Amino acid sequence: MVITLKNYYRRRPQQLQEAEALGKPVYVLRSNTGTQMETVLAGVFGTTAPAGAREGQFPPPRPAPVTRSGSTTSRRTT
């Protein structure tokens, strides 16, 4: 599992490309806040989201679609 920030994900660093190529789930946060992190982790581990977080805001990621060339397309950001 990889959790990263939106601005870092957009740069497409090699570590993220490798993680996606290996099929690891990649969660992209909009901002570096405790609430964002808690909500993602609550969704991953199936616990309740923190107070004030919107229910269902961070569903589990879907596998990245694969194009003919084998590269992945862009991921959904949350």
What are the sequence ranges of the domains in the chain? 1-78
Nearest residue to 26 (alpha-carbon basis) of 8, 49, 46: 8
* Side chain identity at residue 2, one-letter code: V
Per-residue pLDDT of 24-59, as tens digits, reads 998 899 888 888 888 888 888 887 765 555 545 555
The whole-number pLDDT of residue 58 equals: 53
Q: Among 54, 57, 49, which Cα is nearest to 28's?
A: 57
- In the predicted model, is pLDDT for residue 76 greater than 90? no
Q: Tell me the whole-structure pTM to 2 decimals.
A: 0.56
Q: What percent of the chain has pLDDT over 70?
A: 62
